[in-house]
Structure 1
Amino acid sequence: MKLSLKGKNLTYDQLPSNSNKLSFYYLENRFKRVKNIKNFNNDILVTLGLIANDKYTIAAELLSDENSMNSSGIDIVRFGKSISQFLERKTIKNESLLKQLDETLHFFEKNYPKIEVVEGFNRVKKSPIPFEAFREALANAIVHRDYSINSLIKISMYDNRVEIVSPGGLPEGLCDLRDYLSIPRNIIVAQIFFMLGIIEKFGTGIKRIRDAYKSHFLKPKFDIKENMIRVVLPNMLFDDSNMLPEIRIMNLIEMQLEIRRIDVEKKLNVNKSKAIELLKKLVDKNLITTKGNGRNQVYVIND
């Protein structure tokens, strides 16, 4: 499939769909609201790339109201205090990518409502996880994932973080996530999301996610594997100060994917020898392991 696409200079969503009867009410309403298009007809669908050579494209299937593609969907789990405790689960399938986006954003806002905090002499409402960072990470997962892989986007919601895992690693020949976001894997879907103002200029998504955390100690992380890309968004208001030091270190690694000794010193406000002692305990318990040596040494969760 990938060699075939490369030879034809096509992206996956430009291929013809097997469907011959699709409706686009959700897409039509969004275009009417955002772009003030009055007559959403077949000429518009051709212009958008949803019809080519008198056939619907896979992009049309993905953006249709029916969207029967098995690989298209979002599986969301809200965990409790442990990974074995499911508070709520929602699987969104057989809907337009636009509706999948909207429903997931609603689920996110329900689970991470704004919290009133004191800043100086004022009370202000703050989002535990920046909404704009989650929206950007979600939109990029929908636009850039590999739809030839029969797997859903997976979103795991914890007290201290959110993880978004999208199927498909970096396309062949790319070695940087910024390159990946600037060269869309699904060009038609990406262009429509861009036209509707859901994503901005290609390749700027990572910067916007990072900018949402620029004033915070914890930063978003991007984990790239052969068949998936994971984005971790920390909860900026999560307070684990009353937890055991070992648990706080494990929480930190889960959010940052890997940490250095100095990260423990800063987070727990301890000296070098205490940080080493705490990390050694976790290594001895086989909960974490080390990678690298000397200044390059980091600690990761032991798989």
Structure 2
Amino acid sequence: MRETKDLEYKEAISNTFLKTVSAFANYGTGSIKFGIKDDGTIIGIKNPKQACLDIENRINDSIDPVPDYSLSIHEKSGVITLRVEEGMHKPYLYKAKAYKRNDSATIEVDRLELTRLVLEGENLSYEETPAKTQTLSFKILAEKLGEALHLNEVTQDTLKTLELYEEKTGYNVAGELLADENSFCGIDMVRFGDSISVLMDRERYEHVSVLAQYDKALALYRKYYSYEEIRGSLREKKELIPEAAFREAVANAIVHRAWDIRAYITVSMFTDRIEITSPGGLPKGMSREGYLSGGISILRNRIIANVFFRLNMIEQFGTGIRRINETYRDSAKKPTYEILSESIRMVLPVIGGKQELTEDENAVYDFVKGHSVSSSAVVEATGFGKNKTVAILKKLVSKGYIAKEGNGRGLKYFVK
């Protein structure tokens, strides 16, 4: 077995293992096995009972605060296993520095991650920390609350109820983000032409309430993807991309993004799709599968989400992805999602039917629909050559008609 994110081998006992103790205590339970070389060769530790006392003393003397851990000895091999539990009193420091695991290596965290560890240890989120400026106005929020909840005015008590203000600390970051003016990056929207080298339109909404950003983003969407079609005496609204999907995607980006990252939510608008990229990966504790299923909601920005919920800008927490997918129920093209450690990207395709596919593409699409199949299965069903089949599958994936999962021989294609 090789080293992993939660498993490290040490040939001998030296202070280098203390960095990994810090990493496991800060970011997730893991084990260090002493008496094993990096390549997995077992050599054991001489006098393992005395060595365990040495390990204990090094941890107790060097890690602050001391994490929960346990030691065990494999009697036959002489291998010592140190298991370190993820702690609640973060950050766990070694020589005044915090560490994390990066694949099978241990590295020092940067300033941003150290700040996050401090907040986590205090059971706080970034949006709960005091705002840099305490001179804030809330005209836009007052207008929205009046429309949704019929409030006549927004008082200090209202702001306290919404958890945007506390007597001791004043306004918090969530309050600043919802205020008429703030110091944060917002939404950067670009309309592209035939390629990303051709910029047809660009609007950047920053240093204003996230409520205003939401409205302005929706207005620009309507400029390019919504129109009225006149049939006789009737006007019928047409949407190239479902407005409900765009609304949900933008609200999702605002509510769930990492606001401690000084970066913009980007909205890239193309003739065949919209790409919405939100800074920050998944909240801690949420898996990719949980996010895509829409069944579990771990809120990175609980206070902002609660305000959006009260204003009817989002519905039940955790249903955003399912609601977006539902708007494409009758479309051959489906939304896609790219989840990285530093960002999440949603791609909303222009609604399309099978009529825009070629005859060969239709044949492949019809076979894949309702199944999860390999390219070889498509070859057998359609009679196309391997290269032609793979090329068609790639086109259908890029156009948003089908999706893929797995790698190598396990690669499968399916229609969501």
Specify if TM > 0.5.
Answer: yes
Q: Helix, strand or coil: the match of 1:166? A: strand
Change (3 A) 1:279 1:123: farther
Amino acid at match of 1:57: N
1:182-241 Cα distance to aligned partner (Å, 9 max, x none) = 121111100000000000110011111010001111111111100000011110148994
Once the two structures are TM-superposed, the CA of residue 37 in structure 1 deviates from its matched residue by: 1.0
Contact 1:160/1:238, CA 8 A, preserved across alignment: no
Structure 1: stretches of 5+ with no match in the other structure: 247-258, 299-303
Alpha-carbon spacing, 1:282–1:32, altered in 2? closer, same or farther (3 Å): closer
User: Contact (CA 8 Å) 1:170, 1:224: kept in 2 or not?
Assistant: yes
- Indicate the residue corresponding to 1:128 in structure 2: 240
Structure 1 residues 88 and 278, CA gap change in structure 2 (3 angstroms): farther
What residue number does 1:103 align with? 216
SS state of the match for residue 384, structure 2?
A: helix
Percent identity between matched residues is 39
1:159 equivalent in structure 2: 271
C-alpha distance 276-297 of structure 1, shift in aligned 2 (>3 A):
farther
Q: CA deviation at 1:242?
A: 9.0
- Alignment of 1:34 with 2:148, yes or no, is yes
Q: For CA contacts below 8 A with separation 6 or more, give which structure has more relative contact order.
A: 1
Distance (whole Å) between structure 2 residues aligned to residue 5 and residue 179 of structure 1: 27
Aligned ranges 1:236-247 → 2 under 5 Å: 236-237=351-352, 241=356
| CA distance, structure 1, for counterparts of residue 205 and residue 254 of structure 2 | 12
Higher Cα Rg: structure 1 or 2?
2
Answer with 139-148 or 230-239: which moved more.
Answer: 230-239
Q: Is the 8 A contact 1:13 1:186 kept in 2?
A: yes
Letter in 2 for 1:90: E
Is 1:216 the counterpart of 2:331? The answer is: yes
Tell me which amino acid in the other structure corresponds to 2:170. K
Tell me the TM-score normalized by structure 1: 0.79
1:150 corresponds to which of 252, 259, 262: 262
Q: CA-atom RMSD, angstroms?
A: 3.5
Q: Tell me, in whole angstroms, the C-alpha distance in 2 between the residues paired with 1:82 and 1:65.
A: 35
Alignment length (residue pairs): 274
Separation in structure 1 between the aligned mates of residue 281 and residue 124 of structure 2, nearest angstrom: 18
Judged with a 3 Å threshold, the aligned counterparts in structure 2 of structure 1 residues 272 and 98 are, in CA distance, closer, same or farther, namely: farther
Asked whether the equivalents of residues 229 and 236 of structure 2 are also in contact (C-alpha less than 8 Å), the reply is: yes
1:293 alignment counterpart: 408
What is the aligned counterpart of 2:387 among 272, 276, 283?
276
The answer to whether residue 306 in structure 2 is matched with residue 191 in structure 1 is yes
Letter in 1 for 2:141: L
Amino acid in the other structure paired with 2:213: Q
Is 1:87 aligned with 2:214?
no
Residue in structure 2 matched with residue 8 of structure 1 by the alignment: 122
Paired with 1:117 and 1:6, the residues of 2 have a C-alpha distance of: 56
Q: State TM-score, norm by structure 2.
A: 0.59
Match of 1:140 in 2: 252
Stretch deviating more after TM superposition (140-149 or 176-185)? 176-185
Amino acid in structure 2 at the alignment position of 1:47:
T
- Structure 2 portions without partners, runs of 5+: 1-114, 362-372, 399-404
